[in-house]
Structure 1
Amino acid sequence: MTRIAIIGQKAGSTRAAKQLDLEAELLHFNHLTEVLESLASNQADYALIPVYNTREGGVKEYFRLAGLAQTNIYWVDNIVLPIHLSLGVITAKHHSGGRKIRTLLGRDSAFKQGDEYLEQNFPDITKVSVTNIEEAIIDAVLRGQAQTAVIGSEKMLKKHGLKIIEREIADHNRTRFAVLGKKIPARTGYDSTAIITRPLSDRVGLLVDILNEFTRRGISILDLRSENDIRTQKLQVYIEAEGHIEDINIQKAIDTIEKKVVQEHDCLKLLGSFPRVDMRVKQIKSFGFIGTGAMSRWFAKRLENEGYTTILTGRNSRISPQEMISEVQAVLICVPISATTAIIKKFGPLLKDGQALILLAGESEITINTALEVTSQGVEIMLVHNLWGPQAATMKDKNVSVVKTSRSGVFCSEFEAFLYKHGAEIYHDSPRKHDLLMGISQKLPTMISAALAKTLSQHNIDCDDLASHTTLTSLYGILAMVRVHNQNPRTYAEIMSTSGEGRMIVRSFVKNIISLMELAEDGEIDQLCRIMDGSKDFMSREFIETSMNQARSVDEILSDSLAKTYP
């Protein structure tokens, strides 16, 4: 029989232990040190301790867990338990709207969890914290303390004959229990790793530098807590990060922190790795993709790392898009821009009310209008245009345009929260604004790069001569041209072929080029100056200063690169 060590006689700990193993023998101890000793000495197989409550926050056991690092005990799993608190009175006839209640009995944790309710309804009540709530109730009943109320579970209050006057006084109330054991579990693909530092010496920016080692590897921090060590008063930090200790990225982050950031051997202690527990409520369980390309796989992998189920479908997939749609809550269309509208028309009508259609597309107005037309009114619609490709290691600091509609709802918000969590820079656009800006930032630059390369070819200009005949400013265009032509031409052909407001941008540019050429050929230098001054006036001073600072930073890099290439 499994033996589980818990602290005290608390009902919550008992319920959590039974959830871990219904047939387990429970070993009750008064202190955490006794619980850990029972596990270390093999008196218990597992131990259970509360570490977090959604209403009262973290429990101090986080830092007392540091003792695990000196033993062969690890944090191996979690139990999340809903906590239901009700308010009962000793004798109902003495209760009148709560005004006659003078004293409130309960555990300290119950007072904290029900603090909001008590502040609103019983701001002046005398709170008496007790360790054994049932003994306190029996004593109060025997003494005839009719003006006494009790906070506890409804079942326990009714057991002792109390009148329930309020149920669920603390909503969204859940407690997380750490399961301690002797062996770190194997990877599941949806894991967390908990570490704690030794007391750290003072250094400016140390915490930021530690966290950056996780951030730059695309590792999300799930929990972060700090406290001063009692003996040394030095900072001690608890970190819970996404991933398993066997993951290369986690290992590299820890190794770099020890050797290069803190520069102290063994300054990080592993508390454990375990299946990830999500204290947040997710509305979506599964995502389905129409499109099996690299970008679909990129998003699917990261959604799976968040605990979602994903299904990829396409022309040759095991499951058809039609079959997939009936099995998921959110459908993502991620296909070439030129095919997006046709795919929406084909599969959009199959979605039912209560599902979401998220369009991973580079063209907004026509795409969204089509989706709104062919889907039911109860289907959520949102467009997401990620401005990075599948080569990106993370979406941290990458730009993404989100175009919401009147039918964007909780599912769309959850997907946007996923983007935000992973560090994407989110910009909300209207359909028209998105297409105009994409005309400026993608369609037009791509057209210019393609035209420039074609011009070089037509005039048989040796590309090796370009670097020696360019300024840093003119080099930008050359580098953009090379970048475009060094990647999949289909991607950029799709961008150039987009319709909507982006075409207007390109056509305006062509007209302006012709107009400027005519003025230049006629020697109208003053007129050209006036045009440039007018354009400069259109730009804000802040925009010019920010852009020039960015340009200078790029100039430094380019200058160093040119110096190395042409010493």
Structure 2
Amino acid sequence: MAASRYAPGAEIELYPHTRALVDAFVAGTANVIVVPIYNTREGENKPYFRLFEKIKSGCWIDNIVLPVHISLGALQAGESVKDLHTLIGNQRVFKQCEEYIVNYFPEVTLMGVNNVEEAVGNIEAKNGAGVGALAGEQLLTELGLHILERDVAPHNRTRYAVLGPELAVPTGYDATVLITEPLDDRVGMLVDILGEFTRRGINILDMRSENDIKTQKLQVYIEVEGHIQDDVITKAVRCIEDRVIQQPGCLRLLGSFPRVDMRTKFIKSFGFIGTGAMSGWFADRLENEGYRVLLTGRSTELRPDEMIKQVDVLVICVPISATVNTIEQYAPLLADGQALVLLAGEAETTVESALAVTSSGVEVMLVHNLWGPQAAVMKDKNAIVVRTPRSGRFCAEFEAFLYKHGADIYHDSPEKHDLLMGIGQKLPTIISVALAMTLDMNGITAEDIAGHCTLTSLYPILAMARVHAQNARTYAEIMATSGESRKIVHDFSENLLKVIGKADAAEIKNLAQLIDCNVEHLTDEFIQARMEQAKAVDEVLGRMI
């Protein structure tokens, strides 16, 4: 069936087992072969890993994924499930139905056979009472069995590899499979190999290792996202061979092919309102995941109201000050079954507005990514996710996209998000701007700062420089956010005046008590952990100043 699906008009020849199939491909008697390599219920087909050793020419060029529907049939009419004492089937089917058998037939005898048709015929010639068979419904019906239950192993799919003579051309949504030659022992070898992919933002789809039968040396099989002709994949492979394993040619390319996703994807398309750098950053990565992405804005020919009709998920990614107005203008156009994802830095008023103007069948979620478009990857970057009672499977799939690419995800309520963003963004930005104004007011130059900073006092100077080195409008938007973040700034201002008052009055004892009280709230564990980070930064800064 898999071969017919791949090439409906081709001449198809059947082989008794996978080894014979691969032998025919190696000998050139079969131009293209289709090999089962993975099943969602039984895992990988172990023999194929070693069979690839025999293939010195030709490539893995495509994949076919087929559902497997296994039914239970009884040899004699009138029998029910509870009457069965013996089940016939091949070993792979038993493996796929393991959960079903354990739950409903813990005491039955399993008769593993290579040919179900032949086995049923032999038993029927004697006495088939109490005997059932597990196989495809069509086969069971053709053999005259009486169907008792259908699809006894749900979510059952098999992936087949298609092998052909030449490398497949890039499609933009590809995967590459590599296998190492037997490797000499070295501490950290596997971690270092995988690290060359992850540090470049290349997702590893599959990885397994096995000892070579002859030498008992480790061999590693890796499937990654991207085509071997992609520059980032080529560089990773070269680095692994030359620097990590230090054996040129030790990685053998099995093939590159259109990527197959064994996971269920519900989203087909995303549409962005906002054509800024951050929208483009997310759009590129979503397209690389195989999604269709449309970008709209003030200058695009495609208008947002037309785009909304064409997508599953609407993403609003505009300046903070324009977010609510954009929601109120376009979110009401969403229909039940669509989703709204807000890429925004303010949650409370934004989420409230989104829930108010959309119908109950529209999913809503806010994501605040704490990185900018200059980031190469999102791995180890913080992402704040604000779910709502209407966050459903589309929202979960977008969150899974963030998780897949290594983002550190934190879940907040809208109020908590805004309060903590007062600490994480608004207050530090306001302090940086006020500090720069103070320097100007007092005529303090960059040279003065360099000559009079300690490592501790350098931290706010660095933060000030970062704010003033980037987009002024972005930081102005952050400072102007409303909601709970304002409370943080106002409370800080109040406490600052208290500290200044005690400092001006030279109340050293009271100031020391304030610090001690702060330590009690912050906890020793927190302070020690942050001090370790500070020391690491100090070591770098100390060499620079």
TM beyond 0.5: yes
SS at match of 1:27: coil
Residues 227 and 243 (structure 1), Cα distance of their counterparts in 2 relative to 1, 3 Å cut: same
Deviates more, 1:59-68 or 1:22-31: 59-68
Count of aligned positions:
545
2:297 match: 314
Partner of 1:420: 403
1:85 and 2:73 aligned: no
Structure 1 position 258, deviation (Å): 1.0
CA distance in 1, matches of 2:103, 2:455: 66
> Does structure 2 conserve the Cα–Cα contact (< 8 Å) formed by 1:380 and 1:412?
yes
Residues 207, 247 of structure 1: CA spacing in aligned structure 2 closer, same or farther, 3 A cutoff? same
1: CA distance, partners of 2:6 / 2:439: 70
**How far apart in 1 are the matches of 2:20 and 2:53?**
12
1:86-101 counterparts in 2 under 5 A? 86-93=71-78, 95=79, 97-101=80-84
- Please report how far the alpha carbon of residue 25 of structure 1 lies from its aligned counterpart in structure 2 after TM superposition: 1.2
Which SS does the other structure have where 1:86 is aligned?
strand
* SS of alignment partner, residue 372 of structure 2: coil
- For 1:359-401, what per-residue CA distance to the aligned partner results, in whole angstroms no more than 9, with x for missing partners? 0000010111111111111111111000000000000000010
The residue aligned with 2:441 is: 458
Task: Letter of the 2:65 partner, please give it.
Answer: V
2-side partners of 1:141 and 1:32: how far apart? 30
Partners of 2:167 and 2:270 in 1: how far apart?
30
| Equivalent residue for 1:124, pick from 107, 120, 126 | 107
> Any residues of structure 2 matched to 1:46-445 within 5 Å, and which?
46-67=32-53, 71-93=56-78, 95=79, 97-445=80-428
**Ranges in structure 1 where 5+ consecutive residues have no aligned partner:** 1-14, 563-567
Query: 2:8 aligns to what?
Result: 22
CA distance in 2: counterparts of 1:61 and 1:242, whole angstroms: 24
Task: Give, in whole Å, the separation in 1 of the partners of 2:135 and 2:323.
Answer: 56
Kindly provide the CA deviation profile for residues 263-293 of structure 1, in whole angstroms up to 9, marking residues without a partner as x.
1222211110000000000111111101011
Q: Which residue of 2 aligns with 1:6?
A: none
**RMSD of equivalent CA atoms:** 1.3
Q: Secondary structure in 2 aligned to 1:26?
A: coil
In structure 2, what residue type is equivalent to 1:340?
T
Work out the CA distance in 1 between the residues paired with 2:2 and 2:404: 30
Please tell me whether the aligned partners of residues 62 and 238 of structure 1 are also in contact (alpha carbons under 8 angstroms).
no
Deviations 1:327-377 (CA, angstroms, capped at 9, x unpaired): 111111000000000000101111111111110000010111111111111
Q: CA offset at residue 30 of structure 1?
A: 3.0
CA distance in 2, matches of 1:387, 1:479: 18
CA distance in 2, matches of 1:24, 1:107: 28
- State the alpha-carbon separation in 2 of the partners of residues 193 and 367 from structure 1: 41
| Matched residue SS, 1:239 | strand
Query: Aligned partners of 1:347 and 1:398: how far apart in 2?
Result: 30
Task: Quote the Cα distance in structure 2 between the aligned partners of 1:261 and 1:98.
Answer: 57
Change (3 A) 1:62 1:460: farther
* TM-score calculated relative to the size of structure 1: 0.94
Which of 13, 35, 39 is matched with 2:21 structurally?
35
Equivalent residue for 1:12?
none
Which of 41, 44, 51 is the equivalent residue of 2:30?
Answer: 44
CA contact (8 A) 1:65 1:271 kept: no
C-alpha distance after superposition, 1:399-427 (max 9, x if no partner): 01001111111111111000000000000
CA deviation map 1:40-92 (0-9, x unaligned): 44322200100000000011144224325x52211000000100100111112
Deviation at 1:546, TM superposition (A): 0.9
Asked whether the 8 Å contact 2:176–2:257 carries over to 1, the reply is: yes
How much does 1:561 deviate? Answer: 2.1
Share of identical aligned residues, percent?
57
**Which string of whole-angstrom CA distances, capped at 9 and with x for unpartnered residues, describes residues 208-264 of structure 1?**
111111000000011111112222222211110000000111111111111111112
**Residue 447 of structure 2 corresponds to residue 467 of structure 1:** no
Counterpart secondary structure, 1:99:
helix
TM-score (norm 2): 0.98
4+ residue segments displaced more than 4 Å: none
Match of residue 476 from structure 1: 459
Q: 1:428 to 1:159 in 2, by over 3 A?
A: same
Given that residues 22 and 51 in structure 2 are in contact (C-alpha distance below 8 angstroms), is that contact kept between their aligned partners in structure 1? no
1:284–1:308: 8 Å Cα contact kept in structure 2? yes
Offset, 1:535: 1.3
Measure, in 2, the Cα distance between the counterparts of 1:377 and 1:556.
54
Partner in structure 2 of residue 547 of structure 1: 530
SS at match of 2:155: coil
Mapping 1:528-547, distance limit 5 Å: 528-547=511-530
Which region of structure 1 is more displaced relative to structure 2, 429-438 or 140-149? 140-149
Distance 1:37 1:112 in 2: 26
CA contact (8 A) 1:66 1:196 kept: no
